[in-house]
């Protein structure tokens, strides 16, 4: 960020001592790229908690809000209680349901990990139409991730993601785009890990003004009711009729130039460069520091 006039240090932190060194410097703002640092034989260090406890200003949401990113069900529960539309869902472990008639939602269903990023665990087999497929995918995800599987009603409509930045003046910059995965050999369009890794999905402007309005309105509702700070990305799916449903929140979204959805959405919708997107996030964080110093 030298071009913007900021003095910046890049820190690769793998230990508590690394974090202590940052605190000793008392920076005006720490830009967080991950939620936590994993430690061997110790609890993970959640960076939002660590810097909040040490009185250091940081980008992004508080730890309690970041839980909505880590646990998809908690976000759905929270927003459903606020009357916000989310795909119907339940969780399952191997052997919990004995037959199709015990399932809370009828087929077809969509299965994915409760807490996984970048489409991990999601592929064509996530779409299930009978109990044998359901059991097989539950067993596969349980073996790989070792926690309950999130089971959602399958929504066959269009898929969207919305990047939201809270500017230093308090206004929200909202950038909705449509995601179109390639069609698989089974005729499905599923945004899974392989598609994301290959960058084979199409990202494009939403060409229907009425749909764009619905997507933006839902994303803003989710952003506000989840209590997101600074920035976040909201994923949305539509059903056949075009009704929109919250899917998940990404509150430490990827920021890789040229490939991550968050900066690309801002570019596609508002023609912002990567540097401009980063600068908006930093300006918001620094403006908070100024307000706090003024009391």
CATH class of 66-85+156-286: alpha beta
pLDDT digits (tens, 9 = 90+) for 77-87: 999 999 999 99
Separation CA 283–CA 172 (nearest Å): 13
pLDDT lower than 50: segments of the chain: 1-2
Pairing status of strand 202-204 against strand 172-180: antiparallel
The pLDDT value recorded for residue 291 is 67
pLDDT digits (tens, 9 = 90+) for 59-108: 999 999 999 999 999 999 999 999 999 999 999 999 999 999 999 999 99
Q: Identify the architecture of domain 89-153 in CATH.
A: 2-Layer Sandwich (3.30)
Beta-bridge partner residues of 160? 178, 236
Distances (CA, A) of 73 to 4, 16, 91, 246, 278: 39, 30, 8, 11, 30
Taking the domains of the chain in order of start, what are their residue ranges? 2-60, 66-85+156-286, 89-153
- 158 and 178 in contact (C-beta within 8 Å)? yes
Pairing status of strand 159-166 against strand 172-180: antiparallel
The pLDDT value recorded for residue 240 is 94
Eight-class DSSP state of 118 = T
Q: What's the helix, strand, coil split of the chain in %, to 5?
A: 40, 20, 40
The pLDDT value recorded for residue 293 is 57
The pLDDT value recorded for residue 290 is 72
The pLDDT value recorded for residue 183 is 93
- 25 and 31 in contact (C-beta within 8 Å)? no
């Amino acid at each position: 960020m030298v071009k913007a006039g900021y003095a910046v240090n890049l820190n690769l932190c793998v230990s508590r001592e690394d974090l202590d060194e940052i605190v000793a410097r008392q920076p005006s703002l720490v830009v967080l790229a991950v939620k936590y640092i994993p430690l061997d034989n110790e609890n993970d260090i959640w960076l939002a908690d660590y810097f909040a406890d040490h009185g250091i200003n940081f980008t992004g949401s508080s730890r309690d809000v970041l839980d909505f990113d880590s646990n998809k069900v908690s976000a759905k529960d929270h927003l459903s209680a606020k009357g916000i539309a989310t795909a119907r869902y339940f969780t399952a472990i191997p052997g919990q349901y004995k037959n199709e008639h015990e399932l809370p939602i009828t087929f077809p269903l969509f299965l994915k990990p409760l807490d996984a990023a970048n489409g991990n665990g999601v592929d064509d087999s996530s779409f299930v139409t009978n109990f044998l497929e359901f059991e097989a995918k539950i067993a596969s995800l349980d073996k790989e991730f070792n926690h309950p599987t999130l089971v959602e009603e399958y929504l066959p409509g269009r898929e969207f993601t919305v990047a939201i930045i809270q500017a230093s003046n308090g206004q929200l910059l909202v950038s909705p785009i449509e995601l179109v995965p390639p069609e698989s050999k089974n005729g499905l369009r599923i945004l899974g890990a392989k598609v994301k890794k290959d960058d084979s999905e199409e990202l494009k402007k939403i060409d229907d003004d009425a749909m764009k309005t619905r997507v933006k309105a839902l994303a803003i509702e989710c952003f506000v009711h989840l209590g997101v700070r600074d920035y976040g990305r909201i994923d949305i799916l539509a059903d056949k009729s075009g009704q929109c449903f919250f899917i998940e929140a990404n509150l430490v979204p990827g920021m890789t130039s040229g490939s991550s959805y968050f900066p690309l959405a801002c570019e596609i919708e508002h023609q912002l460069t990567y540097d401009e997107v980063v600068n908006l996030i930093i300006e918001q964080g620094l403006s908070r520091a100024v307000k706090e110093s003024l009391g």
